[in-house]
Structure 1
Amino acid sequence: MRTLLLTAALAVIATGCASSGGFHKLYPGMSSQQVVEAMGSGPSRAQEFPDKSTAWYYGEDRCVLMREDKLVSKSTTEERSSVDTPIVSVRSTSKALCAPEGYAAEARSEQEIDTPFGTFKGNIDPAGAVKKVKNAVSGDEEQEQATTPAP
């Protein structure tokens, strides 16, 4: 029994290490070849910028910014907030983003809501969600639909 628990614990640890690759080993100044060796593979996608730098994305949660064959910076997806209740849990994350200075890059965020009815993912506008709930509770949504002429 003890051996079985130890084996299961080691398998979980090994899986965690394998899924993150060598991202924690990356540091500014590494060559592109060193980055590929540390990560165990090339990027899953890349984005080029006019200043000749390139963002390499490893999945949706990790990226590195390369310029002149050198690693400049790296970024990971970060959880901004989390609310867990017995009925609903809400997580808001800021997705990994790599862009050179001076280039406007729109930060991507994602919310995930777990309910007994299912899980909802996406970019949820809190103000819009509150308005919909208020309209549904007050009945304004039904009135609004009733006053809209049919085509």
Structure 2
Amino acid sequence: MDKATLGQYRYLLKEIKSLEARIKKLERVSSDKVTASNVEFPYQRISVTVEGVESTQAAEKLRAILRHRRMECEAAKLSIESFIAGIDDSRTRLVFERRYIYGWSYQKISIYLGSRHESYARYIHDEYLKSTAEE
């Protein structure tokens, strides 16, 4: 796993949320008011609300595409989470978790780990990626 792939985590969360909103919007109920008359005398005009789900072939195809994209994003997110969970060293795992899942800066992570130097967390991060790239 490389930095670019790990950096996609927060964007994947946003994309999943966006896709879910679009899917929900496609599945919303449409309603309209129409004019009708009473079935019995006196035949007065009344307004009736008609509700239903719009289901065209294009909407179904778009819904399938959006669901597929959401599944791909979920799989990528799970892959990143699995990679981070698979790190044996607790300190290194904390650095990766705080950096990619929570979006913390290296400086904030270093302070969290008890160091005053910003490069401390970056060093741990880069050394681990370098060691996994050599394997």
Structure-2-length-normalised TM-score: 0.25
- Over alpha carbons, which structure has the higher Rg? 2
Question: Larger % of helix: which?
Answer: 2
Structure-1-length-normalised TM-score: 0.23
Question: Larger % of strand: which?
Answer: 1
